[in-house]
Amino acid sequence: MLERPRLAHDEDELIVQVQALLADPAHQGNPLREPLAHLLGCNQVHQAQLRRLIRISDGYQYISRRQQESLEHQYDRQLHRLEKLARISDRYQNSLRELSETLKQASLHDPLTGLGNRRFLMERLTQETERANRKESPYTLGILDVDRFKAINDRFGHEAGDTALCAIAQAIAGALREYDVCGRWGGEEFLILMPETPLDFARQIAQRVSQSIKAIHLEFLDIGISASVGLSVYRLGERFSDTLNRADAALLQAKTHGRDRIEG
């Protein structure tokens, strides 16, 4: 009686046992030998195919991981570029806003005196006229002209004239109330806008401005500085240009009557 073979503990050991049984001459006539040999051959083919599939799978996973890492790297790089572009864009937008604000301020201010220019004053006149009609509270305008300013330019030069204009601008601004508006109207003329101010009180303010200008002392000037002022009260419903024309007429009257005067 043949000894019963020991059962294998794993697949490799089982294959070795099957191969040994097939090679044993004692089993040459066994009817199960040929099917077993065929089964072993099929198993070896399947094992080879499985190993090939595993290699292919491992290779695919390796390539997939590399591609994933590459894609992640590319994504990170692209994200970094976009973040950098966003920062640059933000700085550019901020610079544009700052430049726009600077240009706007420059377009509304007189470069010599730093006061509002004619454009600025026209905008404020439009706003104040709308407010005056809405609240039924008129404002008073004053046009101030520096007396004999041409003589200062002719005698001491235009640089001296510019220095005098800057000092006059500071004197006007310093004598006004916080909510009053003043600006350079053109040349040696300045415009003063006094919201919700009746004519009699506007005269007091104009007198204070006039005294402030007279108090100016410049070392290179051996003559005093004075100014003439024409006042006009806004009439509800009219165009502010009408108010300006009356103030201009009052200024001409002050000049005609000897300068250093307040008319209106």
DSSP bridge partners of 141:
193, 232
Q: Quick check: helix, strand or coil at residue 262?
A: strand
Task: For residue 107, give every residue at least 6 positions away whose Cβ sits within 8 Å of its Cβ, in sequence order, or none.
Answer: 117, 119
Amino acid at 203: R
Measure the CA–CA gap between 79 and 82, rounded to whole angstroms: 5
Nearest to 125 by CA among 246, 7, 243, 264: 243
Q: Is 136 a catalytic residue?
A: no
Which residues, other chains included, contact 165 with Cβ-Cβ below 8 Å and sequence gap of 6+?
112, 113, 146, 184, 188
Q: Considering the candidates 159, 178, 188, 196, report the single residue annotated as catalytic.
A: 188
For the annotated catalytic residues, the residue numbers are: 188
